[in-house]
Amino acid sequence: MKILIFSDLDGTFLNHNDYSYSDLKKFISKIKKKSEIIFSSSKTFSEIRKICKKININFPFIVENGACIYFPKNYFNFKQIHQKIIEYQNFIGLPIGGNNLTKLKDQLIRILKKILNFHSLVN
DSSP string, the chain: -PEEEEE-TBTTTB-TTT---GGGHHHHHHHTTTEEEEEE-SS-HHHHHHHHHHTT----EEEGGGTEEEEETTSS-GGG--S--EEETTEEEEE-STHHHHHHHHHHHHHHHHHHHHHHHH-
* CATH number of the domain bearing residue 77: 3.40.50.1000
* Most confident listed range (8-12, 74-78, 92-96, 118-122): 8-12
pLDDT one-digit tens code per residue, 28-80: 888 888 899 999 999 999 999 999 998 889 999 999 988 888 988 877 655 55
Instruction: Categorize the per-residue pLDDT at 86 as very low, low, confident or very high, splitting at 50, 70 and 90.
Output: confident
pTM for this model (two decimals): 0.67
Q: Is the per-residue pLDDT at 107 higher than 70?
A: no
Range of the domain at 82: 3-96
Q: Which residues are catalytic?
A: 8
123 lies in some domain? no
106 lies in some domain? no
120 lies in some domain? no
Number of domains in the chain: 1
